[in-house]
Amino acid sequence: MQGTAREGDKWSSKAAFILAAIGSSVGLGNLWRFPYVAGENGGGAFVVFYLLCVLLIGLPVLVSELFIGRRGGMSAVGSVVKIARAEGRSPWWALQSWLGIIGAFIILTFYSVIAGWVLAYVVMIAGDLFAAIGRDGLAGLAAGAFAGESQEEVAAELGALLNDPARMIFYHALFMIITVAIVVRGVKGGIETAVTILMPAFFVLLLVLLGFALIEGDAARGGDFLLGVRVDDLLRGAADGSVVSAALGQAFFSIGLGSALMMTYGAYMKSEQDLPRAARTVAIADTAVGVVAGLAIFPIVFAMGLAAEAGPTLMFKTLPLAFQGMPVGGVFGLAFFVLAFFAAVTSSIALLETSTKWVDEQTREDRRLISATTIGLVAFGIGVLNALSQVPAVGPNGEDQATFWNTWQPLGFMSLFRDMVLLDFLSAATDIILPVAGFITAVFAGWVVSTSSAREAIGFKSEAWFQRWRFLVRYVCTTGIFVVIVYSTIIAPFFLN
């Protein structure tokens, strides 16, 4: 059906939308990126800057994306075109939405590969745990993760997975099938049903892991690493562009801004829902998940004498080693990777929905099954190439495994993308695409949409709050996002390296 979303496409309740929006923003990055970036950039000092960035930039842009989606009631592209025309402006303002949809699709192509790694670890840890129970009865529950393996063997599990492209592609395919199967069922029957089951389960598992970490882990050191506030760090952070830029970048990417996710989900909001309150809830929940994840991860890591590492290494090497050496580590290691799987699913269905809604909107018939499946197949195909790019060029025994895909550097001649194979290049490219889309969104919401239209669409309860949002989105958001773009694409790669 072309045009504004049908009433049947709306979220059935306020809670359903909140869970869906939180699910779209909470993903694997909350589990490995936020805790490490915070710890490496001054701990509590970074968190202070991060909270300021969420408050002054992330939240105003989130409100903007939601009101654009709800007012337009269409795909991200359709909503911007509809609003722009109503304001007598060019439909080319939809460039922001095209960038967001393209960025979301690109993320899906490699996100599914990494989520496949999560599935592989769920299977491995569950298999070992069930084997221990079968061998020792209930006493087997006390075993650590990867029981019977040496630390070297546990650390090598990720390498073994990367050296087995068939296994990577299998789990990538399985995850993509799950994602498509949910999206083809629509907003209420698929996405809403999934998030109302997965998100509460996610929060329960996260709190269980937090309790385990505080009891069994080094809570004091973990808390100090993540939240310890020192005056010197605050002063140095205020003067150091990299710390402030990292905080703003994390705030921007963690909430999922610029990727058309919130515009798409906003189109399914009912008119009577309190949009500012919903935006605050999503921002607070996303921030809380990052902080709690750090408090659940680092006490465990430090208790086992391991170092805090960044990105996939933290999730797929450091944490498995930590869970191996802890009592009941198999149970809690399995819980952690199931938790990560839930976070990956709720994010991936939002990534697929952005482009599915646009394609479905171009016809007068509901062809969601065809559109979601087709887009999923294309994303899967590109994802296969992403998986092949992660196969080490040198095998575990020193053999040559170099192929075109694991040696090709799409734009390796540029400083910004030097030494990046396909998956790494696409990830870095979205780090540029999404802020640009977010910058255009802030300009569109703050300067193109009329004051009366924005006031009516958002529904702030007081004029004072509306004027605060208007000032922030016009001046603070545009300036802050522009500074991050310039710093990350020009200053850092060309002048600091």
Mean pLDDT of 426-433: 90
Query: 251 or 241: whose pLDDT is higher?
Result: 251
**Considering the domain boundaries, does residue 489 fall inside one?**
no
**Angle, CA of 472, 475 and 480, to the nearest 5°:** 90
- When the pLDDT of each residue in the chain is averaged and rounded to a whole number, the result is 89
**For residue 305, pLDDT beyond 80:** yes
Residue 20 carries which side chain, given as an amino acid letter?
A
Of the ranges 37-41, 75-79, 131-135, 328-332, which is most confident? 75-79
**Considering the domain boundaries, does residue 190 fall inside one?**
yes
**DSSP letter (8 states) at residue 246:** H
pLDDT digits (tens, 9 = 90+) for 29-86: 888 778 877 777 777 888 888 888 899 999 999 999 999 999 999 999 999 999 999 9
Q: How sure is the predictor about 2, in pLDDT bands with cuts at 50, 70 and 90?
A: very low
**Considering the domain boundaries, does residue 346 fall inside one?**
yes
**For residue 150, pLDDT beyond 90:** no
Mean pLDDT of 149-159: 89
Cα–Cα distance list, 73 to 266, 275, 375 (Å):
8, 14, 22
Mean pLDDT of 283-293: 91
| Whole-number Å distance between alpha carbons of 187 and 260 | 16
Could you give the residue ranges of the DSSP H alpha helices within 304-409?
A: 311-313, 319-324, 329-361, 368-389, 404-407
86-90, 314-318, 355-359, 460-464: segment of lowest average pLDDT: 314-318
52-56, 306-310, 486-490: segment of lowest average pLDDT: 306-310
Query: CB 317: neighbour CB atoms within 10 A?
Result: 18
pTM for the full model?
Answer: 0.93
**For residue 105, pLDDT beyond 50:** yes
**Considering the domain boundaries, does residue 50 fall inside one?**
yes
Could you give the residue ranges of the DSSP H alpha helices within 191-274?
A: 193-216, 219-227, 231-239, 241-255, 261-266
| Whole-number Å distance between alpha carbons of 389 and 164 | 12
Provide the pLDDT for residue 151. Answer: 86
**Considering the domain boundaries, does residue 70 fall inside one?**
no
Mean pLDDT of 244-263: 83
Mean pLDDT of 374-387: 97
**For residue 8, pLDDT beyond 60:** no
Provide the pLDDT for residue 3. Answer: 47
User: 384, 172 in Cβ contact below 8 A?
Assistant: yes
**For residue 485, pLDDT beyond 90:** no
Provide the pLDDT for residue 1. Answer: 38
What's the structural domain count of the chain?
1
Look at the block and give the residue holding tokens 């963690």.
254
Phi and psi at residue 400, in whole multiples of 5°?
A: -80, 120
Provide the pLDDT for residue 496. Answer: 60
Range of the structural domain that residue 368 is part of: 19-63+99-252+284-427
pLDDT digits (tens, 9 = 90+) for 342-351: 999 999 999 9
Cα within 13 Å of Cα(49), Cβ side = 30
| Whole-number Å distance between alpha carbons of 54 and 163 | 39
Query: 455 or 364: whose pLDDT is higher?
Result: 455
**Considering the domain boundaries, does residue 200 fall inside one?**
yes
Which element (helix H / strand E) includes 452? Answer: helix 451-458
User: Dihedral through CA 488, CA 492, CA 495, CA 497, nearest 10?
Assistant: -140
Phi and psi at residue 377, in whole multiples of 5°?
A: -65, -40
**Considering the domain boundaries, does residue 480 fall inside one?**
no
DSSP letter string, 228-245: ---HHHHHHHHH-HHHHH
| Sequence-distant (≥ 6) Cβ neighbours of residue 230 within 8 angstroms | 42, 43, 44, 45
**For residue 11, pLDDT beyond 60:** yes
**For residue 6, pLDDT beyond 60:** no
Mean pLDDT of 388-395: 93
Phi and psi at residue 173, in whole multiples of 5°?
A: -65, -45
Question: Residue 380 has which token pair?
Answer: 């899967």
pLDDT digits (tens, 9 = 90+) for 450-480: 999 999 999 998 999 999 999 999 999 999 8
Q: How sure is the predictor about 4, in pLDDT bands with cuts at 50, 70 and 90?
A: low
**Considering the domain boundaries, does residue 89 fall inside one?**
no
Mean pLDDT of 162-186: 96
Question: Residue 382 has which token pair?
Answer: 């590109």
Smallest CA-to-CA distance from 229 within 493, 415, 11, 46 is with 46
Provide the pLDDT for residue 41. Answer: 75
